[in-house]
Structure 1
């Protein structure tokens, strides 16, 4: 694959394209949740089957990532992101077009397509962004993921009240159409642009020489494994809290379903602050500090809910900052340490494949612990353990980056 960078004047195009694509990389999964009771009623879904509308895509994230890496290696990042957006659009239409089986098929298509997008965006960031700007662009990507989730969560139910749930879900495909058109233009511009000068991209110092390359490869592999460890903790915690925080608040604080949902929404909204805060912290502190701060915030969420549950609004906001910051920390490190597009795709695929597998385990395990114990202490202790895994893995990855090759 080509490793040339886009010219500086085209960088704004790429960043805008990343943000537009990110709006369609989580929103289609969240969109059915506000109208899930209507979908169950119309299609005769059980609660377990309805859960597949959000659970299947996450499982596909884990299963499809190796194939996504090969797709990027064979056809290039632009082709891969076009495949992603086309698949999301097709899946969105299919999911709203037929009976129960067709709805599930559309969900599978959406999950598989987003899995490609999850891998290719970090590759594009590594290739096209100066390494000093990688944390900020990754933060913009992370923030856009959460904005996509937020607007679909807030807008689907009002749309469904006017046009029905099927058309409400299809309507979000307009975001995907916008991103698809934009990336078609980016791909065309890149195809006709002259190769960039090597000086157009400022790289961090690298080790040269045959023996240095071997040692560098080994270091990158070790960093990748520690980041895999960290992302498993991140994904387990995020999807467990997303799935169960409204129920937890209803059970422990006696809130109505609407009030508990509003409280839990802080966990999603505050992620934008976390994503955008990490680059500022990275620029002003030692390399380990962003990981330590984000890890401490992550740990505060389950601890706060255990020790002082009446402060749930504060804990939800702190946890949201942590989950937005955690994603940014991990994938900023990936983009900064890898040296080629192929290495970026392979490392990102390994991290995300393992992490999203952990994510599929989290919500069922937390729910089973709640059912088995009749309370939320055991589930929160498990989430606490997962947040500690994020902190340990992240700090060990940073430590590895600072060792002399």
Structure 2
């Protein structure tokens, strides 16, 4: 290994100097990036009864954040480029906390406004965390840390699905929704400590070292000259086509959209479906739907292991195969909901993980990672935001769950077919 390469490995980021801190902090941060979205689902009946909300408006509580993931993505990308990635993560947590407090006010307008604020905060986190993982994690650990991150997303969803209804039964739904803001406070404290530890590590030994020039930068820069980090980034960006000009980015965006549509449609309506089809009460429906969330941990951690042995396109096909068990199973034998939730839950956790891994393997620098992450997630979540609304509208129009589940099935097929084609050249 050359001296320049060794230096590059040492100084890419101070955060890598405290390797165990970063994954731990990412876990705590990620708990806030899905839990607030699913929190209203277990108590949606109580909310509708208290505020007189229609089913369509109630569906907006899940749709609005996902729509923000799409529409606020350019803003999130600007925040990350304008400030540092570390500050962007902190800002996202503050915004989520503010939105959680506003949403707990028992008024329909406050509920919707708070939900939108939460969506904007999570959008910033959605875009910046993959950039942080790519930048501050060694290449051999990127897949594992990505899996840990996506696992934590689903653990957050599971925790709120399990805990919201019991808390609401004791203290009312506004308290049950507001209490999850504590997680944002804990995550903010942990992230601040982690960033401080990384800065201390970097400052103690490496402040005087120049920014290394490696990888694709070597092909476009005169390595004998001294350039600022901004000049180097600008030079690299000029050689890379915008994500919108790469067909593989569009394919990943559609695949991500199929994943997001299916996930949010089922997340929003599984409690109601189980109540209608099996007769579960509110608490039981919330607890049962948490199976779909927690089993995602298996897929999120299992996919990085498979990614070291198989090509991503093979894994995407496998994920889609198990994903299909969820809508098909609930159509054919809803009484076996536990089996379908296990298979579908593991698959949905693996689906988002493998797409993130493909993105990380495709990009060549931090700015490219930011732009591709923003493009894929922005367009994908725009499609995903329609999931709860479409499922709710079809259920309201037909009075049953056949049409909504068939729509989810089509979205899963989109993930499998388009995703596998897009990843065919990725090793």
- Give TM-score scaled by structure 2 length: 0.83
Aligned match of 2:185 = 177
Q: In angstroms, what is the RMSD of aligned CA positions?
A: 3.1
Unaligned runs of 5+ in 1: none
CA distances 1:255-307 after superposition (whole Å, capped 9, x unpaired): 55655554433222211111111112112334433212112111232233344
Deviation of residue 107 (structure 1)?
1.8
Aligned match of 1:315 = 340
- Separation (CA, whole Å) in 2 of partners of 1:113 and 1:260: 28
Aligned match of 1:21 = 29
Aligned match of 1:388 = 413
* Structure 2 counterpart of 1:90, from 92, 95, 98: 98
**C-alpha contact 1:7 1:196 (8 A) present in aligned 2:** no
Aligned match of 1:119 = 127
Aligned match of 1:226 = 251
Alignment of 1:150-189 (within 5 A): 150-189=158-197
CA distances 1:367-388 after superposition (whole Å, capped 9, x unpaired): 3334444544433332222111
Alignment of 1:206-285 (within 5 A): 209=219, 217=241, 221-253=246-278, 260-285=285-310
- Separation (CA, whole Å) in 2 of partners of 1:197 and 1:332: 33
- Give TM-score scaled by structure 1 length: 0.87
* Structure 1 counterpart of 2:142, from 134, 145, 157: 134
Alignment size in residue pairs? 398
In the alignment, structure 1 residue 30 sits paired with structure 2 residue 30: no
- Separation (CA, whole Å) in 1 of partners of 2:106 and 2:394: 36
Unaligned runs of 5+ in 2: 1-10, 221-235
- Separation (CA, whole Å) in 2 of partners of 1:263 and 1:29: 17
Deviation of residue 182 (structure 1)?
1.6
**C-alpha contact 1:58 1:359 (8 A) present in aligned 2:** yes
In the alignment, structure 1 residue 145 sits paired with structure 2 residue 170: no
Deviates more, 1:319-328 or 1:332-341: 332-341
SS at match of 2:12: coil
Deviation of residue 315 (structure 1)?
1.6
In the alignment, structure 1 residue 334 sits paired with structure 2 residue 359: yes
- Separation (CA, whole Å) in 2 of partners of 1:213 and 1:38: 51
Alignment of 1:6-85 (within 5 A): 6=14, 8-85=16-93
In the superposition, relative to structure 1, how do residues 264 and 33 fare at CA in structure 2: closer, same or farther (>3 Å)?
closer
- Separation (CA, whole Å) in 1 of partners of 2:115 and 2:152: 21
- Separation (CA, whole Å) in 1 of partners of 2:176 and 2:57: 20
